[in-house]
Structure 1
């Protein structure tokens, strides 16, 4: 209760003392859901039928729903943690400065590497698919060398990516995110239409409603579904920018985005698997008979990843900035917490432009030089995505909600509270709800390390099923 009442109490005191009110966001609930959902649902949705083929229908449905719940719980813990810092300043950096100051640089480096790798994969997808799209619309275009050159298309689409990546606020991407979701909708309709028409039955393999393929196949498909829900790098931006950042509002954003993504994943996974059975490939769109509908589907994937690129550049830029300005925390007196040397502040225009430019150049050059980053992204996803989705939200909430912690140091503007009010706050967080949440946070951390161990093991040992 005090976590929601306290900001209003502080704002009222500032008004009485002539101080400025807490900053407020301007993003709507709908734009927040759209941006978060677009961060979740990417080209990975096309691999859902392949994952379902490894699990079988029953276990596949359970894993998709369970993974969504675990990711949603991580988002919920992030929203709870954001209440401990000033309105508009929530980030992995600001929370790590309050909990594990000297480890904050490691956290931000992991986020930056993960987002950088995903952004590179988007450019590679553009380079691989655009020649196919052009051939689908005009077969004679194959005689034009530059139209078949992946490097040409990566360079061409950078002209769209660059201005979008220079937008400061995540809310500014709500229209491009909407276009990307329209592209996803087309892909879903395409998969559903082929299932209803039944034009794939001649190529369909066996269907397994209950029995999984094998233990190795299940473990190899598990990361596909777990990482499909990764959006936690943008959750703090959502909380900072949304107009109503109350508990109910942020919780409904999480439910809306995770619930919609889970519905899309289930629909594509089930109908795609029933269309091709065990013969389904990693990209179901590539399996459909050559037609203009499939060509448009490939173009929709290109549109999707183009407008998803800025959603990776945004957190990558913030994390690089935090890494560059990180300084070791000063040790406090006995019994007192470490004091962060620097606080997260808004980037200057010059710094913003330099970091953004470096990210754009780095991802462009990497995508040009490397044809496939599957193995690299597998390791980045196993470590970076797992840390962002499960481990960091869990350990942040476990640490920051400790009723024995010095909440004078944890709460911003604590000088506005007298000793009685601080005691009331500390008592309010030491209740059965908080204790249950803290146990859940610890369980999420353990789950995160288990996922990391399983995924890294699969990547290192490999699996023969491919």
Structure 2
């Protein structure tokens, strides 16, 4: 960046910098904020204001211009990105998961999973308000609650998102040769799985390198058209069936078996989008509680309705014989071929939505390691006021310590994205199936992100506050997550030991 373009931005930041003499007269905050894990006090030479941190980034010329632009996200665009993160390969396995539980029991589990997921998102959005400005992330919240574990939380989230992105490449690589064959192509290259994975990774370069999540709203909207098409196809084949009538008693309302614990992670995984809620909070033009809650309600509500529709009609169409991949149950007609193509586009456009949080988490991990190695301070002292008057969180009117503002440099942004794409390409070429791996991801990574971390973060921030309804819910959500992790992970390990995979 040239000096001429950087100067007006620098001037704006200097104008926003608080007066150091008046700031020094502010007394320490009230006891209400003692619930936060307080970092060790910094010396006067290390007490940088937020404006000084941003100014240092600008002076270094290692930042993206959009980092100082006004946020552009809306409820609609943010809901599209969250919904596209939610709606993926989980749609195709929902009828099979419902078949293992029964029609009514399966519907109840879908509704409960949607409710639990939305509560996790809400708790994370409340925690985001305790971070500084629009720099919220799992890492920032961890630094305010469990500073020593922050790096491990972000590493786990990065690994989880990386694993999901690999699954999208594998699904795309498996679908495209079938689609090419159904369309009558005989060229061996077009029937090669490796070719289509290579095609995918090259095509995704412009999207995966996008700096802001809101920039993906158009591709997310395009991908959601595939959901609409699948929605219509499932209904069409149910109301005009090509199959023989189902045997009597093949559809049950309730079914309980040991398989419940191996299928529950599918429902958990299906509603996981929590890795992107902080980006949504940072990028919303108006990130008040009303706007954030509206985004959560719209994205989770629409996904729940689509899951219920596909699960119920798919189960009623094929009964207990429904396969884990619903599309394999239909004949290779043009309608189904186009449906497979639309799903391939859906998972292709979902890849950047996993790459974005994985990159941000890895950046936080690398920066923390480098800051520790250089013995640089990780906290700054600022004076922030709450923009949310209905919040029940104790907000101090005095200076508080928050993690130092961090802006990812272009070089780091490019290098992390490049290595993420390279390693995901290598793994997806080498591995032919990730079904079992995704079961473990659902029972571990998705459970931690969706339930355990939101619950423990919110509780820690209100540890010394009075017990409220949300504080009780945070404990229940975290407890539920721990139980899911223990029982479902145990069931999947038993499944591997027994060879039932």
Same fold (TM over 0.5): yes
Paired position in structure 2 for 1:80: 126
**Structure 1 regions of 5+ residues with no counterpart?**
1-12, 333-338, 405-429
CA distance in 1, matches of 2:438, 2:368: 26
Paired position in structure 2 for 1:366: 427
Kept in 1, the 8 Å contact 2:140–2:403? The answer is no
In 2 relative to 1, CA 88–56 (structure 1 residues): closer, same or farther, beyond 3 Å? same
Paired position in structure 2 for 1:420: none
Give the one of 167, 186, 189 matched to 2:210: 167
Paired position in structure 1 for 2:470: 437
**Structure 2 regions of 5+ residues with no counterpart?**
1-14, 21-49, 55-67, 380-399
Give runs of aligned pairs for residues 84-103 of structure 1, distance below 5 A.
84-103=130-149
Kept in 2, the 8 Å contact 1:131–1:150? The answer is yes
Deviation at 1:378, TM superposition (A): 2.2
Deviation at 1:78, TM superposition (A): 0.7
Pair 1:197-2:240 in alignment: yes
Give runs of aligned pairs for residues 374-413 of structure 1, distance below 5 A.
374-402=435-463, 404=464
Paired position in structure 2 for 1:345: 406
Kept in 1, the 8 Å contact 2:79–2:299? The answer is yes
Give the one of 69, 92, 115 matched to 2:161: 115
Paired position in structure 2 for 1:455: 488
Pair 1:260-2:260 in alignment: no
Pair 1:50-2:96 in alignment: yes
The number of equivalent residue pairs is 416
Kept in 1, the 8 Å contact 2:262–2:439? The answer is no
Paired position in structure 2 for 1:182: 225
Deviation at 1:464, TM superposition (A): 7.9
Kept in 1, the 8 Å contact 2:266–2:439? The answer is no
Paired position in structure 2 for 1:242: 284
Deviation at 1:340, TM superposition (A): 8.6
SS in 2 for 1:391: helix
Pair 1:294-2:336 in alignment: yes
Deviations 1:34-64 (A, max 9, x none): 0011101112101111011111011011000
Deviation at 1:436, TM superposition (A): 1.7
SS in 2 for 1:222: helix
Kept in 2, the 8 Å contact 1:97–1:340? The answer is no
Give the one of 79, 84, 103 matched to 1:33: 79
Paired position in structure 1 for 2:109: 63
In 2 relative to 1, CA 176–322 (structure 1 residues): closer, same or farther, beyond 3 Å? same
Deviation at 1:343, TM superposition (A): 2.9
Kept in 1, the 8 Å contact 2:443–2:485? The answer is yes
CA distance in 1, matches of 2:359, 2:112: 31
CA distance in 1, matches of 2:240, 2:212: 43
Paired position in structure 2 for 1:273: 315
Kept in 2, the 8 Å contact 1:94–1:343? The answer is no
Deviation at 1:465, TM superposition (A): 7.3
CA distance in 2, matches of 1:168, 1:204: 53
Paired position in structure 1 for 2:42: none
Paired position in structure 2 for 1:407: none
Deviation at 1:438, TM superposition (A): 1.1
Give the one of 346, 353, 359 matched to 1:304: 346
- CA RMSD, aligned part only? 2.6
CA distance in 2, matches of 1:396, 1:192: 42
CA distance in 1, matches of 2:18, 2:500: 68
Pair 1:155-2:198 in alignment: yes
Deviations 1:185-236 (A, max 9, x none): 1011111110011223446784333231x41122222111111000000000
Paired position in structure 2 for 1:127: 173
Kept in 1, the 8 Å contact 2:268–2:446? The answer is no
